[in-house]
Structure 1
Amino acid sequence: MHTLLPFILAMIAGIVLLNMLAKKLKIAYPILLVVAGLLVSVIPGIPYIQIDPDLIFFIFLPPLLFEAAWAGSFKEMKKWWRIITSFAFVVVFFTALSVALITNYFIPGFTIAIGFLLGGIVSPPDAVSTGAIMKFVKIPKSTAAILEGESLLNDASSLIIFRFALIAVGTGQFIWQDAAIGFLWMVVGGVGIGLISAWLFIQAHKRLPTDTSSDIAFTLISPYFMYWIAEEAHASGVLAVVAGGLLMSLKRLTFLTSASRIRGYSVWELFVFLLNGIVFLLIGLELPDVAAGLRADGIPMSTAICYGVLVTVILIAARMISSYGAMIFTYLFRRKNLPHATSLKRRMTMPLLLGWTGMRGVVSLAAALAIPLKLDNGEAFPHRNLILFITFVAILLTLLVQGLTLPMIIKRTGLFNSYIDDEGEAETRQKMKIGLKQHIHQFLKSKHETEWQGNESMAKFIQQWEERAKATEADTWMNDRTKGIFLEMLESQREYLVELNKDPKINEEIIREQLYQLDLEEERLRVV
């Protein structure tokens, strides 16, 4: 314990520092974390970290999926649901099938069931890696919505394949009728349990005398609760978390206060960042141990690497084929559902991006580590070390090859510089701001006529908002120069409060509250 705790603290510090370095280098931080994990793992005396496979899913997946659902847009998912569901289910199954058939042919001793097990593990792209990379490039809103929606659902479909393949490997048989019924229950039951659980948590927020801390605590435990209940009912815990997270996200304004939303965002951002960092470091830290297992099984390292490269090529090829197949099908039969673009050529470049965003990560690692050491009959699980090694190689290669080249491809080709769906963003923002000012002006006038008649202060206040409502972008009061003056005023107020706090008679809690208000005001000004 005394050696492990400093190592964990050092790991967290390393995650923070590597994230800073990644921002400076403008590359996705998961790439640096995986490489750092590999380098650290060869240092003599490094403690060996082993997590119970049964806890892998439960520790990492629920909060990561919940946060992704909370941040996602249900409106955009509904708009592009056909493409999203095809990628999340059809493409994942096609990828798993391709991996199963080819590995069964090329890898000695690999049955179709073991191939499907490996396919279920490596088929889902990682949302964290893709999101981290997309921060450095500009892509169409429609493409971003498709990637976000796919990332919420492909984990569920791949883990369903993983679960059924695991049963087939353990029992030696696969009954299609039972699998179909089981699949239906996992989907319907998972979604239903997630929605019911989310409704219960929303009611708890509304009806109980909660404060900011308890609100945030409820949001932290809710994904674990949804996942656990669904898994106990043999439904999909992943779909339960996604469905529940989307419902709570839609209703967030009805059961969370503004303080809970502001502080909860910071808590969740830190929590998810640390979880992702730990997982990607574990990828690098675990690889040498898996390689040692291969040597114990008598599998040459060069052979295992070739198998890993083969599976990685299958993953990339299957996603590229699926991307162009889906776009061609949509163009031929459902042309109105295509994302708007300036030309057919630009429409057909979108699959290139979708096909090259197949970095693997957290879910693949969790699934691979969750493979049991032994079968129910006590025998060692067949090819477990090789499956783990191939998974690690696929994660490493997709992160390094696709992760490092994707931003360069987008920037140098300029494929997505002039999509129509991005052109109206500035106009929409301006229209929203003008509409808000006019709405506030009408609200104040209505209140003055009915409740505030004769109130001179309110009359002056209404006059100020009337001037704002009539102002155009060119002569608006909040231009860059005015904003700079306001920011200087806020900083001057902070300095005054710091000096005021030196008085021993002043309650520091009041000072901190006012400083927090200044922080909120500054954040508001920066997005005006």
Structure 2
Amino acid sequence: MHQTVDSLLILLALAAVVAIGVRRIKIPYGTALLVCGLVAGQLDLVSGIGLDPSVVFYVFLPTLLFQAAVTTDVAPLARMGWTVGFLLVVGIPTTVFASGTLAHYLLGLPWATALLFAALTAPSDIAAVISILREMRVPPRLAALMEGESLFIDGIALLLYSTLLGVVLQPARTTDPVELVARFVWLALGGAMLGGAAGYVVSRVMREIKDHLVEVLLTSILAYGAYVAAEQLEVSSSIAVVTAGLVVGNYGLKHTISPTTQLTLMGFWDYSAFVVNSLLFLMCGLRVPLPSLRHFEAPILLAYLALHAGRTLCVLLCYAVTHRSRDGRLPRSWLPVMVWGNFYGSLSVALALALPAAVPERGTLVAVTFGVVLLSLVLQGVSLRWLIAWLKLAQLPGFKVEFDTYYGRMLAARGAQDELKRLHGQGLISREVYTHLRSRYQVKASRTERQLKLLYEKNRELEDREYQAVAAQMLRLERSLVTNAMRDRLLSEEAGAALLTEIDEALARSEE
């Protein structure tokens, strides 16, 4: 026990050092942790601790899923609902089938085993991808699309993994395709209903409680309780946790939870996910059998290419189907990012280690999975920023951040002036207090406006960016007005549909 505690402290210290270092060298945190774990494993710096799959599934996974869900805004996802839905319902099975087919022919794996390998590598490293997208300030719709897909892909992939594992272990009992599909649908819907109901109940209970620490405790019980309850009811535990987190994050936080609780809750879950993610990547690095991977160089490379070929097929199919849709049109410049931004992460390693000994070619699957994850996090993690910049999808760094800072200060000052005016108009503050504070905020707003003017003069691109942003905002306003007019029967369906198509095409052009 003492040795385990010492090892955990060493891992946390390594995580802190890496977290500080990646701010300077600009590589994904997960990639740096994995490399650090590799070095620590080769030097035998940490002992007495291993990557137990049961710990990953029952301790780490609920935390990661709930944190990602509770911090996700469903409004952008709803606007991309058709595209996200297609990627999840059609895209993931297509990717698994295509990648599994290639793995069967290229690696010589049995059919069921090849499909199982494709399923266990389907989960993505959501934290690494989202951190890069936010840092590079890609278009909001692209970030929302990839975040939404990454949020649900783990649940769908785990369902496929468990289903295909049953096929591999008991082929005679699970060969009926209709039965497999029906079971898959029941697991997904059952998990969603359980998580949604639990999230709603906990949100309502939190509304009656005024203790922010107890409210945060309730969300912890919800995350792990939904996971365990789903396991007992034999429905999807991962989808249950994700749905519960979405309900709390988009209903509870906005309608039933106090601001103090919101700050405490978000801080708690951000910290928890940070610690869990750090330990998971470091432990993966410690477990990678680096010398033995040299015997699997060709299979690893072939598997890596097969997985990317399957992902490419999925993205191209989604582009072809949604290209003419009103809400989900994908600009062509997004497609390479959607393919290359699909990182294979630590969950795949845990799934590979959890494979029973009876699975054919288990040793090959584990080694190839380790190699694929290592390649993905190093190659894609380092180069994704370059790809985004080359495609000109990144917002202006440097002075754009400076512009946002000044712009935010101006908005805050103007908002404070408006609030002071409201309070004074209602007789809630004296004229002396109103005059004094209003003058202070006027000075702050005027100073910020001068700084913004200087930035505009130095960087003409800012004016173009602002024009594009405001123009896109006006197009979204037009869309909302047309939709409301159609709902109120002020516009016919035919005329409204034509107008919406015209507006959506203009929006898509503005984001290309």
Equivalent residues in 2 for 1:79-478, closer than 5 Å: 79-108=79-108, 110-173=109-172, 174-208=175-209, 210-250=210-250, 251-288=252-289, 302=294, 304-331=296-323, 333-334=324-325, 337-338=328-329, 347-373=331-357, 380-417=358-395, 436-437=415-416, 440-441=419-420, 443-445=422-424, 447-448=426-427, 457-463=429-435, 475=446
Mapped to 2, the partners of 1:85 and 1:217 lie a distance apart of 32
Mapped to 2, the partners of 1:363 and 1:37 lie a distance apart of 16
In structure 2, relative to structure 1, the CA distance for the partners of 1:372 and 1:412 (3 Å cut) is: same
Shift of 1:13: 0.2
Contact 1:311–1:390, Cα closer than 8 Å, also in 2: yes
Shift of 1:329: 3.0
SS at match of 2:446: coil
SS at match of 2:47: coil
Mapped to 2, the partners of 1:157 and 1:360 lie a distance apart of 15
Aligned residue identity for 2:423: L
Contact 1:57–1:367, Cα closer than 8 Å, also in 2: no
Aligned residue identity for 1:102: L
Shift of 1:229: 1.1
User: C-alpha deviations, 1:225-271, integer Å up to 9, x for none?
Assistant: 11111121111111111111111111214333322222333222221
Shift of 1:390: 1.4
Mapped to 1, the partners of 2:410 and 2:22 lie a distance apart of 36
Shift of 1:478: 9.5
SS at match of 2:136: coil
SS at match of 2:37: helix
In structure 2, relative to structure 1, the CA distance for the partners of 1:127 and 1:44 (3 Å cut) is: closer
Shift of 1:336: 5.4
Question: TM-score, normalization: structure 2?
Answer: 0.79
Contact 1:122–1:391, Cα closer than 8 Å, also in 2: yes
Shift of 1:44: 4.2
Mapped to 2, the partners of 1:135 and 1:74 lie a distance apart of 17
SS at match of 1:382: coil
Shift of 1:392: 1.1
Contact 1:88–1:151, Cα closer than 8 Å, also in 2: no
Shift of 1:429: 6.3
Mapped to 2, the partners of 1:138 and 1:348 lie a distance apart of 18
In structure 2, relative to structure 1, the CA distance for the partners of 1:10 and 1:330 (3 Å cut) is: same
Shift of 1:157: 1.2
Mapped to 2, the partners of 1:207 and 1:479 lie a distance apart of 47
Mapped to 2, the partners of 1:274 and 1:432 lie a distance apart of 35
Mapped to 2, the partners of 1:402 and 1:24 lie a distance apart of 19
Contact 1:92–1:124, Cα closer than 8 Å, also in 2: no
Contact 2:187–2:235, Cα closer than 8 Å, also in 1: yes
Aligned residue identity for 1:196: A
Mapped to 1, the partners of 2:336 and 2:8 lie a distance apart of 40
Shift of 1:122: 0.5
Contact 1:101–1:112, Cα closer than 8 Å, also in 2: yes
Shift of 1:33: 1.0
Aligned to 2:32: 32
Flag structure 2 segments of 5+ consecutive residues without an equivalent.
453-512
In structure 2, relative to structure 1, the CA distance for the partners of 1:362 and 1:439 (3 Å cut) is: farther
Aligned residue identity for 2:426: K
Q: How many residues align?
A: 445
Aligned to 2:486: none
Shift of 1:465: 7.0
In structure 2, relative to structure 1, the CA distance for the partners of 1:42 and 1:433 (3 Å cut) is: closer
Shift of 1:395: 0.7
Mapped to 1, the partners of 2:364 and 2:19 lie a distance apart of 31
Which of 1 and 2 has greater Rg?
1
Aligned residue identity for 2:245: G
Shift of 1:476: 6.5
Mapped to 2, the partners of 1:440 and 1:318 lie a distance apart of 54
Mapped to 1, the partners of 2:44 and 2:440 lie a distance apart of 66
Contact 1:65–1:241, Cα closer than 8 Å, also in 2: yes
Deviates more, 1:428-437 or 1:144-153: 428-437
SS at match of 1:187: helix
Mapped to 1, the partners of 2:63 and 2:196 lie a distance apart of 16
In structure 2, relative to structure 1, the CA distance for the partners of 1:44 and 1:148 (3 Å cut) is: closer
Shift of 1:432: 6.5
Shift of 1:404: 0.7
Shift of 1:446: 5.6
Question: Aligned-pair RMSD on alpha carbons?
Answer: 3.1
Shift of 1:386: 1.6
SS at match of 2:234: coil
Contact 1:125–1:359, Cα closer than 8 Å, also in 2: yes
Shift of 1:69: 1.1
In structure 2, relative to structure 1, the CA distance for the partners of 1:477 and 1:102 (3 Å cut) is: closer
In structure 2, relative to structure 1, the CA distance for the partners of 1:348 and 1:106 (3 Å cut) is: closer
Shift of 1:87: 2.4
Mapped to 2, the partners of 1:35 and 1:24 lie a distance apart of 16
Mapped to 1, the partners of 2:139 and 2:448 lie a distance apart of 32
